[in-house]
Amino acid sequence: MRVFLHVLALALTALALAAPGRVSAAEPASLVAVYGDVVHTMAGPPIEKGVVVIDGGTITLVGSALDIPVPPAARVVRGRVVTPGLIDAHTAVGLTGYLNQDQDQDQLDKGDPIQPELRAIDSYNPRERLIEWVRGFGITTIHTGHAPGALVSGQTMIVKTVGETVDDAVIVPAAMVAVTLGDDARPGDEKKSPGTRSKAVAMLRGEFVKTQDYLRKLGLSDAEKRPDRDLRREVFADVLRGKLPLLVTVNRATDIDAALRVAKEFGITIVLDSAAEGYLAADRIKAAGVPVIIHPSMRRGGNGETENISFETAATLRAKGIPVAMQSGFEGYVPKTRVALFEAAIAAANGLTTEQALATITSDAAAILGVADRVGSLRPGLDGDVAVFDGDPFEYTSHCTAVVIDGRVVSEGPR
């Protein structure tokens, strides 16, 4: 096993080093015309022989190449299939690194079971080679941050897969607060809390009760009686105010139900993450109006909380009318990340249509993350993020041949 992991790590290193070079968000955007035999806009039916025109980093025209004149000065990119830039709805890339060594693993701090004040923006490394690597598969936006594994592990953020600094890359600096319920929330030491599911939920509820009292005291007219600044309370206060949703990683149906109860009790917004047994609680999820970022299709199952995992979860939940998105998730071992494109492809082979599967990593993912006004579809006024393929994106023989982010061609040539 050790030899296998070493060989795998070396292979990933070679792939990462072969990835397209870093691209600064400060580089000027140009006039770009992206032609495709088929253009999936995700805002309407696919366009045969279509073109997407990007000017100054923003999409200006989308339609038939026969109807849209493109200025001769435009940089032209061509491919068989064109899609919006792909979105990985949940990952830890940028906090976790491809070296798989202590110095590039900032995704989880187990010093305290509850640390909502930990900001992803303070740990994100835009120069991490894994970011270049996933970008080579057409992924232009990622929802990343603190990983599952603690009751409240920290915050997440939404970034583009470009930039020399986090400020270059960031779209949403604080997107959600990462919470884990179930076995993964346990610290592994019987002397530490939470040791049971009931204790974990009680601890989480207790934090909201304390925060309600904190908000009450903040509103006191007597300044002397107001509490001192408290970073933890500030984050939970934003959750109670509806400014930040909880991203709740759960797998068992019982834990899904617990998350829904907490959300109802405190009137907070949640997004379910992973949800291996989501199909067992589909009616309750639907009734609560909660979206799901589904576990990677190829996540290992067979034991523990994922013993009932299914390739068909995405199709089952979508058929119920539940908004779903796909993710690469977090890997505790090399290669440290999956590829969301491949995970969506498996969902496409197990109940979703091609367009539905593509939506889980474009338009539907953008809607769940609250960034549909920027990314996720090819419409005038949105960011000029485009992925180009030499065949069906979900066929393993196809390649991503070009990636455009904010009107900059950041890579060309097959991945």
What are the tens digits of pLDDT across the range 344-395?
Answer: 999 999 999 999 999 999 999 999 999 999 999 999 999 999 999 999 999 9
Residue 229 scores a pLDDT above 90? yes
What's the pTM value of the predicted model, to 2 decimals?
A: 0.93
In this structure, is the dihedral angle defined by the CA atoms of residues 209, 212, 218 and 221, taken in order, positive or negative? negative
Please report, rounded to a whole number, the percentage of residues in the chain having pLDDT higher than 90. Answer: 85
**pLDDT classification of 23: cutoffs 50, 70, 90:** low
Q: What is the pLDDT of residue 167?
A: 97
- Domains of the chain, residue spans: 31-85+376-415, 86-372
Instruction: DSSP for 164-191, please give it.
Output: SSHHHHEEESS--EEEE-SGGGS-S-TT
pLDDT confidence band for 15 (50 / 70 / 90): very low
Chain segment 249-278, per-residue pLDDT in tens: 999 999 999 999 999 999 999 999 999 999
pLDDT-derived band at 13, boundaries 50, 70, 90 = very low
Q: Quick one: fold of 31-85+376-415?
A: Urease, subunit C; domain 1 (2.30.40)
Contact 180, 106 (CB under 8 A): no
Say which residue the tokens 């109807």 belong to: 67
pLDDT digits (tens, 9 = 90+) for 284-298: 999 999 999 999 998
175-188, pLDDT tens digit by residue? Answer: 999 999 999 899 87
Assigned fold of 86-372: TIM Barrel (3.20.20)
What CA–CA distances, in Å, run from 101 to 4, 9, 298, 328, 408?
Answer: 17, 11, 24, 20, 33
In this structure, of 13-27, 108-122, 359-373, the range with the lowest mean pLDDT score is 13-27
